[in-house]
Amino acid sequence: MNYAKRLLTLAVLVVSGIAAAPAGTAAQGLFDPVITVNDSVITRYELKQRTRLLSVLNAPGDPAKLAREQLIEERLKMGAAEQSGLELSEEGVQAGLKEFAGRGNMEPDEFIAAMKREGVAEQTVRDFVTVGVTWRQLIAARFGPRVEITEADVDKALNAVTGGSSVRVLLSEIIMPAPPQQADEVQARAAQLSQINSVAEFSDAARKYSAAETGRNGGRLDWMSITKLPPALRPLILSLAPGQVTDPVPLDGAVALFQMRDIQETSVKSPNYAAIDYASYLIPGGRTEDTLQQAASITARIDTCDDLYGVAKGQPPERLTRDARKPGEIPNDIAVELSKLDPGEVSTTLTRTSGDGQALMLLMLCGRTPVSEEDASREEIKQRLRSDRLESFAASYLEQLRADARIVEK
Q: What is the mean predicted confidence (pLDDT) over 258-268?
A: 85
Residue 386 lies inside a defined structural domain of this protein: no
353 and 285, same structural domain?
yes
Residue 368 lies inside a defined structural domain of this protein: yes
250 and 304, same structural domain?
no
Residue at a domain's end among 265, 284, 302: 265
Residue 162 lies inside a defined structural domain of this protein: no
Mean pLDDT score of the chain = 85
Confidence (pLDDT) at 27: 46
8 and 93, same structural domain?
yes
Residue 251 lies inside a defined structural domain of this protein: yes
Confidence (pLDDT) at 3: 37
Confidence (pLDDT) at 269: 64
Say how many domains are in the chain: 3
136 and 17, same structural domain?
yes
> Is this model's pTM higher than 0.75 or not?
no
Of the candidate ranges 122-126, 248-252, 300-304, the one whose mean pLDDT is the lowest: 248-252
361 and 248, same structural domain?
no
Domain of 340, CATH number, reads 3.10.50
3-state secondary structure the chain: CCHHHHHHHCCCCCCCCCCCCCCCHHHHHHCCEEEEECCEEEEHHHHHHHHHHHHHCCCCCCHHHHHHHHHHHHHHHHHHHHHHCCCCCHHHHHHHHHHHHHCCCCCHHHHHHHHHHCCCCHHHHHHHHHHHHHHHHHHHHHHHHHCCCCHHHHHHHHHHCCCCCCEEEEEEEEEEECCHHHHHHHHHHHHHHCCCCCHHHHHHHHHHHCCCHHHHHCCECCCEEHHHCCCCCHHHHHCCCCCCECCCEEECCEEEEEEEEEEEECCCCCCCEEEEEEEEEEEECECCHHHHHHHHHHHHHCCCCCHHHHHCCCCCHHHEEEEEECHHHCCHHHHHHHHCCCCCCEECCCEEEECCEEEEEEEEEEEEEECCHHHCCHHHHHHHHHHHHHHHHHHHHHHHHHHHCCEEEC
300 and 180, same structural domain?
no
Residue 291 lies inside a defined structural domain of this protein: yes
382-393 pLDDT, tens digit each: 887 888 788 888
Q: What is the mean predicted confidence (pLDDT) over 263-291?
A: 85
240 and 278, same structural domain?
no
With 50 as the cut, is the pLDDT of residue 4 above it? no
291 and 236, same structural domain?
no
395 and 359, same structural domain?
no
More confident position, 154 or 402: 402
360 and 405, same structural domain?
no
112-122 pLDDT, tens digit each: 999 999 999 99
184-218 pLDDT, tens digit each: 899 889 999 999 999 999 999 999 999 998 999 99
187 and 61, same structural domain?
no
With 70 as the cut, is the pLDDT of residue 306 above it? yes
Residue 396 lies inside a defined structural domain of this protein: yes
Residue at a domain's end among 231, 265, 299: 265
Domain of 87, CATH number, reads 1.10.4030.10
Q: Which domain holds residue 332?
A: 273-373
